[in-house]
Chains A and B, each alone.
Chain A
Amino acid sequence: MKLTGAQALIKSLEESGVDTIFGLPGGAILPVYDPLLDSSIRHILVRHEQGAGHMAEGYAMATGRPGVALVTSGPGATNIVTPIANAHMDSTPLVVITGQVPTSAIGTDAFQECDITGITMGITKHNFLVQSASELPRAIAAAFHIATTGRPGPVLVDVPKDVSQSMMDWWWPSSISELDLPGYQPTVDINQADIDAAVALIEAAERPVLYVGGGTLKSRASQQLIAFAERSNIPVVTTLMARGAFPDSHPQHLGMPGMHGFYTAVMAMQRSDLLISLGARFDDRVTGKVDGFAPEAKIIHVDIDRAEFNKVRRVDVSIQANVKDALIALDASTSPVKNLDAWWKTLRSWQADYPLTYDPPTSDGPLRPQLVIESIARASAPGTIVTSGVGQHQMWAAQHWQYEEPGTWINSGGAGTMGFGVPAAIGAKVGRPDRTVWTIDGDGCFQMTAQELVTARAERIPIKVAILNNAYLGMVRQWQEMFYDERYSEVYLSPDLPDYVKWAEAMGCVGLRATNPQEMKDVIEEANSINDVPVVIDFRTDSSEKVFPMVPSGATNDEIMVHPSQRGKRS
């Protein structure tokens, strides 16, 4: 069968099981948009290529399947660089296809030429510049294979215009060996000696903690985690990237560790004598000052990526495996564990002394942002998916919403990309149309990518957006208040400019506003009753509210600052 490169590209995507593409056309990718008309694949036309990338991420994080984006060369490609970097940091499987100028024009500074494989070398798991139409099926198949196996990540495929216009004989690689990737071996056999060494440490530990990271979600290991945790009675913390991997309602869950983690989760790690890291990477936002991090803890590090071992912290036992396989092996090998009553007694007393807290709400506003989040959570169906931007609202959303299952919390962890929330919610809703999807967004973040609500309305993707409008780049304001003597530099945004309700309406969405607790309840109820169009709510929240607990940047976790009402409780 003779096909054009463009037809072969679309057929390759179909063969790879793609049901949705997020994209925006232009000159160099034009040939590919023509056969798309005849394909069963749904294309979602975004308003900015950054939106396409974050939607693909949201889709991938909600479904576990790779997200796909299609953009043109030059500025189209550079506009999607931020989501690629974001996906790279958070190990999200993406396949990004970019148009490129014709092969004969490469290197001549042609119109809309840019070296996107060069630009993205350091922020992709791999990338390809396809040289001929007959290579396309292999490149696409290899892109999906690489993006989704081992430690997942973004793969970019750059397709010159003449490649998509020329003819090829259709073929499809029938096996992984035909992908011709001699340097890529994503699977590893677990080394039983490592398991035995880990088991010995677990059986000897008196203050163990299961330090659960995003790799636990990536390997779909929640069931195995629950089983192992319950049998061993070891307390669990879930990082920002792993919220939902272990039910928040589970009595063994201590919550999120890190810079804005729960006091007990932070201190449990800090005082632990054994950290069992499951697909986590000792990020500086979790460790605080590395030198003072968990000084008495031995480390068991489970990761599919060998390069994570000893990168930040010396490990005692490393297990190269995906988290699921490692948990199965550990569970099979660990004999009945030691009595952890003394450890649990300490942990329970910390929980009693330092629960997550905030100032009591007032009846006449401004709203407490934490209360807004708790109220939305209470009013929403179980299994509701939450996405967020980056800032204070993100931390409150990670703290105050109860995550009970995998894939219900979607945020930008490693890169901290403002503007992630709205497009990620759109992608998540496309991937999981059966679920309610809320974005907990900041006013600053919302202004970075809000135009994608036009996409959402046009494509009938009814997400719900809660703007916690504190009129500030709040997280930066918090640092300036606490660490720069309240010298506020370029952080004020205004609560009224833009008018979020009118803006929402202009984009075809329902726009609502709440300034006090009664209005808050009413608009949440109204938003949850609307299922055909996107809803945006402008919640007027208290500008002076800060996120606690907080480990100041550069400090050790021992220097954790709790909420002012809890200070002086204990030394």
Chain B
Amino acid sequence: MTTPEPYVGPTAAPVVQHHILSVLVENKAGVLARIAGLFARRGFNIYSLAVAPAEGHARFSRITIVVDADSAPLEQIVGQLNKLVNVVAITDLAPKFAIERELLLATIRTEVDEQTNLMEIIAAANAAIVDVDAHAVTVMLAATPEACDALERTLEGFAEVELHRTGRVALPRLGKVTS
């Protein structure tokens, strides 16, 4: 795998309320507990957290953490996180320099006669139907967190909805510096 980018310093942009930390960790037992414990212990808030094997490499995982940069200075969060021995590299992505995506899955229970309305919503949101029967439809949306928010709000109009979101993952925008 390629050498992970070293952390190069906090972003100057003070207006954003969330920040995305892409954290490369050793794939060891308890590493998620170490990170979660650190955030809890130090009073840092997490909006979302996603874990996956890193770049096809069994030794490392990539944890994408969306942090509340108001709950503590980003410099503190990164500095404390960096002290965890299993944390290999931290990339701090300011939202404007990041491509962020999130996956939403929702099952909407609705009889066939109401489904036309639903189909319009699905089409407008660029979502896909991934499962269907006479009483329900399951849709999927892989999009920006804002687009997922919008679909979630629209679906609130239906009586019975079961909805899951993964939390976002992110990568730096191409051709831009990542703070």
Interface residues of A (CB under 8 A from B): 117-118, 121-122, 125-126, 129, 146, 181-184, 305-307, 309-311
State A310–B29 Cα separation when bound (angstroms).
Answer: 32
List 15 A-B pairs, Cβ < 8 Å. Answer: A118-B33, A121-B30, A122-B38, A125-B85, A129-B29, A183-B26, A183-B84, A183-B85, A183-B88, A306-B79, A306-B82, A307-B80, A307-B82, A307-B83, A310-B75
State A198–B38 Cα separation when bound (angstroms).
Answer: 32
A309 touching B37, Cβ below 8 Å: no
Interface size on B, residues (CB 8 A): 22
Interfacial chain A residues near B82, Cβ < 8 Å: 306-307
- Kindly state whether residue B176 has any CB partner on chain A within 8 Å: no
Chain B 85-143 residues near chain A, CB threshold 8 A? 85-89
Among all A-B residue pairs, the 7 with the closest Cβ atoms: A307-B79, A183-B88, A126-B85, A183-B87, A307-B80, A306-B79, A184-B85
Interfacial chain A residues near B89, Cβ < 8 Å: 183
| Min distance, Cβ A215 to any Cβ of chain B, angstroms | 15
Chain B 50-70 residues near chain A, CB threshold 8 A? none
- Kindly state whether residue B34 has any CB partner on chain A within 8 Å: yes
Q: Which residue of A lies closest to B79 (CB)?
A: A307
| Min distance, Cβ B47 to any Cβ of chain A, angstroms | 22
- Kindly state whether residue B43 has any CB partner on chain A within 8 Å: no
Interfacial chain A residues near B21, Cβ < 8 Å: none
A307 touching B76, Cβ below 8 Å: yes
Complex partner residue of A121 from B34, B80, B87, CB under 8 angstroms: B34
Contacts across chains A and B counted by CB atoms under 8 Å: 44
Interface residues of B (CB under 8 A from A): 25-26, 29-30, 33-34, 37-38, 41, 73, 75-76, 79-80, 82-89
State A305–B84 Cα separation when bound (angstroms).
Answer: 12
Interfacial chain A residues near B76, Cβ < 8 Å: 307, 310-311
Known A-B contacts A182-B88, A183-B26; the reply to A121 vs B33 at CB < 8 A is: yes
| Min distance, Cβ A31 to any Cβ of chain B, angstroms | 23
Complex partner residue of A309 from B25, B30, B75, B84, CB under 8 angstroms: B75
State A182–B83 Cα separation when bound (angstroms).
Answer: 12
B85 touching A122, Cβ below 8 Å: no
State A481–B37 Cα separation when bound (angstroms).
Answer: 39
State A129–B29 Cα separation when bound (angstroms).
Answer: 9
Complex partner residue of A183 from B30, B80, B86, CB under 8 angstroms: B86
State A305–B38 Cα separation when bound (angstroms).
Answer: 16
State A305–B87 Cα separation when bound (angstroms).
Answer: 15
| Min distance, Cβ B24 to any Cβ of chain A, angstroms | 8
B30 touching A117, Cβ below 8 Å: yes
**Other A-B pairs, 13, CB within 8 Å; known A118-B33, A121-B37, A307-B79:** A117-B30, A118-B30, A121-B34, A122-B41, A125-B83, A126-B84, A182-B26, A183-B25, A183-B84, A307-B80, A307-B82, A310-B75, A310-B76
| Min distance, Cβ B83 to any Cβ of chain A, angstroms | 6
